């Protein structure tokens, strides 16, 4: 699980990212980013019931996304809010396919430090 300072929790912050953020899509993931005046990168993960009706599977996907983002935390640019949204079909991917997708998505969005 990500540390508290790296979690995007407040509804107004999430709405700001959706309204004013820039979007990127790769395979079965959508990434919305908004660069602001915050100190640390913050993340929110959205896995709707369209992905799976089972809460256990949705939570597993959320934990997997959180773990994969946590592994890249040292390389991610600061001052940015991120929302990762799962699209139906992600539940069929394994850990390594999801890892590759997230890597490609972050490179496309230029989220890594130089």
Whole-number pLDDT of residue 32: 97
Q: Which residues of the chain have pLDDT under 70?
A: none
Taking the CB of residue 9, how many other CB atoms lie within 10 A of it? 9
Assess if residue 114 is contained within a domain: no
Write down the pLDDT at residue 79.
Answer: 92
Token representation of residue 84: 């990762």
State how far the alpha carbon of 38 is from the alpha carbons of 8, 33, 59, 90, in Å.
Answer: 11, 13, 27, 30
Query: What does the pLDDT read at residue 114?
Result: 81
Q: 104, 111, 107: which is closest to 79 by C-alpha?
A: 111
How many domains is the chain built from? 1
Q: Is residue 113 part of a domain?
A: no
Token pair 């929790």 in the structure block, residue? 9
Neighbours of 4 (CB within 10 A): 8
CATH number of the domain within which 97 lies: 3.30.230.10
The pLDDT assigned to 10 comes to 94
Task: Look up the pTM and report it.
Answer: 0.92
- The answer to whether the beta carbons of residues 28 and 93 sit under 8 Å apart is yes
- Residue ranges making up the domain that contains 27: 4-108
Six token digits for residue 60: 């597993």
């Amino acid at each position: 699980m990500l540390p508290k300072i790296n979690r995007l929790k407040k509804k107004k912050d999430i709405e700001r990212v959706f309204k004013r953020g820039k979007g990127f899509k790769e395979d079965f993931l959508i990434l919305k980013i908004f660069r602001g005046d915050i100190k640390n990168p913050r993340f929110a993960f959205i896995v709707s019931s369209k992905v799976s009706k089972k809460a256990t599977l949705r939570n597993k996907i959320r934990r997997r996304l959180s773990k994969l983002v946590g592994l890249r935390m040292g390389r991610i640019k600061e001052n940015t809010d991120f929302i990762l949204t799962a699209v139906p079909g992600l539940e069929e991917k394994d850990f390594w396919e999801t890892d590759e997708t997230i890597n490609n998505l972050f490179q496309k969005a230029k989220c890594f430090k130089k």
